[in-house]
Amino acid sequence: MANKQKIKGAEALLLSLIEEGTRDMFGYPGGQVIPIYDCLYDYRDRINHILTRHEQGAVHAAQGYARATGRVGVCMATSGPGATNLVTGIADAMLDSTPLVCITGQVPSSMLGTDAFQEADIISMTMPVTKWNYQVTSASEIPRAIAKAFYIARSGRPGPVLIDIAKNAQVEEMDYSYKPCLSLRSYHPTPEIDEEGVRQAVEMINAAERPLILAGQGVVLSGAERSLTEFAEAGHLPVATTLMGISALPSGHPLFVGNLGMHGNVAANAMTQHSDLIVAIGMRFSDRVTGDVQNYAPQAKIIHVDIDRAELGKNIRIDLALHADARTALEAFKVGLKYRERPDWFAFAEQERAVEQKEVFAHTDDPAGRFITMAQVIRNLAEIEKGDAVIVTDVGQNQMFSARYSRFNASRSFITSGGLGTMGFGLPAALGAKVGVPDKEVVAVLGDGGLQMTLQELGTIMQNNIGVKILVLNNSYLGMVRQWQQLFFNRRYSFTELENPDFSAIAAAYRIPARRVTKPEELNGALREMSEAPGAYLLEVAVMPDENVFPMVPAGASLSNLIYHD
């Protein structure tokens, strides 16, 4: 516990953040947080504050930072529009279980409820999309509120917390001392594992002829990557991942059978439909994973492990629920687990991989050789980066191609907006990731539409010399919406075509080296140039305008009803 000292609330906030290990934060100043920023001037050697160009950029950068490092991301904004500009990122973090502490300024407590200038009830607005939020009206509350915020944000199923601090609390003096929060009455984030349930689960796994592990982001959030690998190897069990679980197991691991769901791999989806036992760990059975729930995994018994009790049985019927932390459960499963070859099951996986090679991979290049395809770009990037880069995507076709064709050697290497699907996420999240892991190559894979939603964050990259690589796949369309219009709306391309600016010229205005390529023979050289650049670099690739992502499960259809190509 820090010794008591008389300081203002603004300084108490910064000291509390430092006590919680905050080294970097992202934000944008304004009238109701000026006292905090004034104090931050004297703490620049202890907290690296990144000035973004928009509050949405700040919260997405904090998300990217948290996802890349495993630490709590911190962002700050002023009241009113500053606070409301955080809401999209907060909602995104809630759905994707990203630990954030978001700090907003507020009008003085004496003016609350008066519709004062830039007053907004951010507590009511964010209540549905935070794990906890709290309004501070006196300086003495600040240390306790911050301690509780970090504890709640990082414990159990992680998520965002918002602390709204009235301006008077920032300037009042208080006796400062800090005590970390270690527990809260009625909040039990780490459940005790059911040993009888574990015993039943192991029996079911040992007896299964066609078992399949479905690994979600919960594996990563609990630090269970090694436990997952050891469990899978001990039982010789195939593993598929959700979109958010990508990189929990290295792409090249012999037991990895691919990604699940709407644009997942053929083998992973086919094995789901033919499995007799699914062991789902740290995933929530999203509709993008299951398709038609009435026809999902029709032959399988389902074991579901999740730290959030509310997820168990929420979307699909399950046979055995284990309310447990992923790492705890995986370690427990290894006791009594038997190794079985299951040659027929792995032969089925190889058969489905061959189907994908013939029906999908064979159709990824332009047969006439005129256009570069997104699939080519991501495949070639994967060959150059050799699985060592952190890939941060925006949302849409760029996201799905990156999920399908990227390769990953290490965990926390694929960062994307999963549950909310937020366009504009990619660029600020990538710069936040690069701040968090400066020694790693971080590549932002963006579409031309998503880039233009947060394009201003090129200024953040410029001012802070953040060496993120930016790969823009430009098809002059809102590509995923256009794909749906083509396949399901009789090719009525209503307001999805984009007339784009010169992205290289814009990058040059931000003093970021850039290049644009249009021919397949230029691609590899340009990708290598980007990869070898000493700092930030923007590469725009003009890609085939009407390329689609396949395979695809139409919305509401069964995983058995894959569309393989046009």
Which residues form the catalytic set? 55, 117-118, 167, 480
Q: How far apart are CA 1 and CA 149, in angstroms?
A: 17
> Taking the alpha carbons of 316, 321, 326, 330 in that order, is the dihedral positive or negative?
negative
Which of these, 287, 277, 326, 289, lies nearest to 306 by C-alpha position?
326
Q: How far apart are CA 302 and CA 201, in angstroms?
A: 10
> Taking the alpha carbons of 162, 106, 122, 6 in that order, is the dihedral positive or negative?
positive
Q: 3-class SS at 301? A: strand
- Residue 238's Cα: distance from chain center in Å? 24
Q: How far apart are CA 172 and CA 188, in angstroms?
A: 34
Q: What is the DSSP string of 345-405?
A: HHHHHHHHHHHHHHHTGGGSS-TTS-SB-HHHHHHHHHHHHTT-SEEEE-SSHHHHHHHHH
Q: What is the DSSP letter of 193?
A: P
Residue 365, both tokens: 């290049």
Q: What is the largest CA-CA distance in the chain?
A: 74
Residue 239, both tokens: 């593993």
Q: What is the DSSP letter of 515?
A: E
Residue 132, both tokens: 């906890």
Burial class of residue 182, CB neighbours in 10 A (0-12, 13-18, 19+)? exposed
Q: Kindly give, in sequence order, each residue whose CB lies less than 8 Å from that of residue 179, ignoring residues fewer than 6 positions away.
A: 1, 143, 144, 147
Residue 284, both tokens: 């929530």
* 242, 208 contact by CB (below 8 A): no
Secondary structure of 216-248 in the HEC alphabet? Answer: CHHHHHCCCHHHHHHHHHHHCCCEEECCCCCCC
